[in-house]
Amino acid sequence: MEIIILGPGCPKCKTLEKLTQEAVNKSGIEATVTKEEDIMKIMEYGVLSTPGLVINGKVVFSGRVPGEKELNEIISNNQ
């Protein structure tokens, strides 16, 4: 599984990156978590409001930081 956090480095983006890494570690799911900070590459995903979360090439949400339970469900449902 490939997970990409989209965001230029704002506090919300950093929070989403931390929460996503924690969720992956707790779940035992094998995934690579990376962060994309290049605004042009972020726009290629059609994301205009960060942070955004991409799983296996698909944008699953943007513009907010979900709660821990919701984030776990999103990751599990997009394996």
pTM over 0.95: no
pLDDT band at 79; cut points 50, 70, 90: confident
Q: 36-48: b or e for each residue (b if 16 or more CB lie within 10 Å)? A: beeeeebeebebe
Instruction: Find the CATH number of the domain harbouring 7.
Output: 3.40.30.10
Number of domains in the chain: 1
Residue with tokens 């090439």: 57
Residue with tokens 């978590």: 33
Q: What is the Cα–Cα distance from 25 to 19, expressed in whole angstroms?
A: 10
**29-70 pLDDT per residue, tens:** 899 999 999 999 999 999 989 999 999 999 999 999 999 999
Domain span at 65? 2-77
